[in-house]
């Protein structure tokens, strides 16, 4: 299994600012993912962040808006840049520890005013 923590757990931000979300895992993992979950919706994959390579972004998400760092096998950050109210969502970090199981962090609840 994997225990994942995220910081901050929630934040309220002004439009035009940026927020960096941190994800810490209690074990070394190769595959780490960032998801967004908007109210009442399911999870949408933003990007896959593997250590030692550039993050791979899904359609509709770009590096300039959501830059990601993956400096080592236990840590990653996601930045939500130049925020607008449409970015209000829950952002979840996730890791794959085996082919059959994916664990999620508790999420960061972001509100953009």
Partner 1 sequence: RKEVEQDPGPFNVPEGATVAFNCTYSNSASQSFFWYRQDCRKEPKLLMSVYSSGNEDGRFTAQLNRASQYISLLIRDSKLSDSATYLCVVDKANNNDMRFGAGTRLTVKP
Length reported for the chain: 113
x/- map, 48-87, partner 1, by CB under 8 A: x---------------------------------------
The total of other beta-carbon atoms located within 10 Å of residue 106's CB is 12
* C-alpha–C-alpha distance, residues 40 and 57, integer Å: 23
Q: Tell me how far, at minimum, the Cβ of 95 lies from partner 1, in Å.
A: 12
Q: Report the residue from 11, 22, 45, 79 that binds partner 1 according to the rule CB under 8 A.
A: 45
Residue in the block written with tokens 């810490």: 24
Residues from 5 through 44 that contact partner 1 (CB under 8 A):
31, 33, 41-44
> Closest Cα to residue 104, out of 112, 95, 30?
95
User: Smallest gap, in angstroms, from Cβ of residue 16 to partner 1?
Assistant: 28
Beta bridge partners of residue 92, listed in sequence order: 35
Chain residues that interact with partner 1, rule: CB under 8 A = 31, 33, 41-45, 48, 92, 96, 99-107
């Amino acid at each position: 299994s994997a225990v994942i923590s995220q910081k901050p757990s929630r934040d309220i931000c002004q439009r035009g600012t940026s927020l960096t979300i941190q994800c810490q895992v209690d074990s070394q993992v190769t595959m780490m993912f960032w998801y967004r979950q908007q109210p009442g919706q399911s999870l949408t994959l933003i990007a896959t962040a593997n250590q030692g390579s550039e993050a791979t972004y899904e359609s509709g998400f770009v590096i300039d808006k959501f830059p990601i760092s993956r400096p080592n096998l236990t840590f990653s950050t996601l930045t939500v840049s130049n925020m607008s109210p449409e970015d209000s969502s829950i952002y979840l970090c996730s890791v794959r520890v085996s082919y059959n199981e994916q664990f999620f962090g508790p999420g960061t609840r972001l509100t953009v005013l």
